Every structure is written in structure tokens, then in C-alpha cells.
A = this chain, B = another copy of it.
Amino acid sequence: MRQPLHFWVVGGDPRCLALAQALVGDGHTVHTYALGPKAVCPSNTLNSIDNADCVILPLPAHSGELLNAPLASEPPVLEHVLDALAPGQLCCAGRVSPELERAAQARRLRLIDYFVREELAVANAVPTGEGAIQIAMEELPITLHGARVLLIGAGRLSRVLAQQLRGLGSKVTVAARRFSDLAWAEVWGCTAERTDELRGWMCSYDLVINTAPALLMGREELEDLKPGCLVIDLASAPGGVDFAAAEELGVKAIQALSLPGKVAPVTAALAIKAAIYNILTELGV
């Protein structure tokens, strides 16, 4: 990747604020637009944005016709932003929708989604895990040290949470389907349980964290929980917990989504920056 480059950061939440600042800190030339009064290097117009080596749109890039720009006094129209770019110009955006894809193609932009990058998903597991831990600390009357925690799923997020919770002294059980995931759980120092054998064994946990995109915490499992057990669902909607049943049963169940931007916007920004640098390196920019 060449040094320095010329970036425009257009719209976004506190993550994009921090991203712009970090790009400046790395020595790049940066302009920002629609990032509110705290933004570095703010521009009032999109003039000369077509000179940028890379234009960065937020995560997600837009909501309907408007750019996702909660910090701007008036969020700009997505199409107006795209119209200001030059054909062939590189534009990185998060969670690219089919509409944005089409709009970019119509303008022959070189649009790349940074949110699909595996390294970003890995890095985001850390603030997501810390966010879940923060919620558990706020809600539970016990310490995580010594707490019995059930992690459902054995993907990225569970792997990171297992490390974090064990680091705090929790007794962690990982529920998974695949034999190799159960073997990993034991390598991490956790107890391993098969997902299909959970029912009837839920009553020993103080905290259940679901990371699997499947309805594994249904009414029967929720009925099994001991009083006061907290349930946190980190799986993207529709999630893995029957929230209606939880409410009826008086089980506290919390759906926690998009934690990185909420609990650690600066760390989340650095992860996005790293992903964009990797994209630029791969493109030979």
C-alpha cells in the first residue's frame, strides 16, 4: 500500500469519526463529510471527492435513500454522494445492499464491501465478547469469576468468549454439534456438551450466551433454567432465543446486536481501518 493516500470518509457513526482520526494519525490526507461537528478535516461540499484514492462509506452504508449519517445535522441522499464520485473510483462500504451494488454499477464505481472480510469479523469478535461481558456484569448479582456459563455455538464469537470468560475465571461449557468443535471446547479448557443433549441439563448455569443462528433456546430450555439465570443472545436476527416465552416465564433475556460500534467504537474503527488497508494492499493501490 502506498503511503500517504488520500481518503474521504463520508457519513457514519462514532466509528467513522474515529476511523477518520486514525487515518490522519497514520499520515494520510483525509477529508470528511456529513460526520458532524467533531469530525477532523470536515468539508462542506463533496467537491473534489473524485480525487480521493479511496472513499469510505459507513456500516451499514445507507438506510433507504439516505446515507447512514447519524452525526450529520441532515443526512445526505446516498445517490447524491455517489454522483460526486468518478467512474472507476474506489469506494469501500460496509454491508453493501443490492440497491447500493446496483447504484454503484450504474456509475461504474469500484465498490468493495469491507464488512465481508473475514479478518474484520475476527477482530469484531473481541468487542462483541466484551460487550456481552459488560452486560452480564451489569445484570448479574454474582461475579463472572466462578460463574457457570453456557456458550451455545463454537464459531468465532464463542471461541473468543471462551477465552475471555476463562480469563475472568468463569466455568465455561460450550455446546456444539460437530465433534471437532467439541474437541476444541476441551482444548480451550471448557466442558463440551452436544447441542442436542442440552434439554434437561440447563439448570446449572448462571449465564447462557447464544452465538448460534438457530432457535436452540426454546420454551423447554428456558423452563429448565434456574431462577435468576441471564440469557444473552448475540446471534443476528431472528436470533436463537424464544423471547416471547422468556417474557412469559420471567426469564431475563437480552438481545444484543451490533455491539462493537456501541461498546468500543474506537477499537471497531481500527478493525475497519485494518480491513481497508488489506483491501488496498490486495488491489496494489
Give the interface of A toward B (CB within 8 A): 14, 18, 117-123, 125-127, 130-131, 133-134, 137-138, 140-146, 160, 163-164, 166-169, 178-180, 182-184, 186-189, 263-267, 274-275, 278
Contacts and interface: CB of A to CB of B under 8 A. Distances in A.
A237 to B, nearest CB: 24
Interface centre among A122, A188, A278 (most CB of B within 10 A): A122
A137 B142 contact: no
Total copies of the chain:
4
A267 B137 contact: no
B164 A168 contact: yes
Given A143-B127, A167-B164, A168-B167, A118 B180 contact: yes
A264 B180 contact: no
Contact of A187 (B118, B122, B263, B265): B122
A118 B179 contact: yes
List of 8 A-B pairs having minimum Cβ-Cβ separation, nearest first: A167-B167, A118-B180, A122-B183, A119-B183, A119-B179, A134-B137, A141-B266, A143-B267
A142 B180 contact: no
Given A167-B168, A189-B169, A142 B182 contact: no
A143 B264 contact: yes
Contacts of A188: 163
Given A134-B137, A179-B117, A123 B278 contact: no
A97 B145 CA distance: 31
B168 A123 contact: no
B126 A133 contact: no
A180 B282 CA distance: 14
A267 B142 contact: yes
A143 B275 CA distance: 18
24 contacts: A117-B179, A118-B179, A119-B179, A119-B180, A119-B183, A120-B183, A122-B180, A123-B183, A126-B145, A126-B146, A127-B143, A130-B145, A130-B168, A137-B263, A142-B267, A143-B264, A143-B267, A146-B186, A146-B267, A164-B169, A166-B167, A167-B168, A168-B168, A179-B275
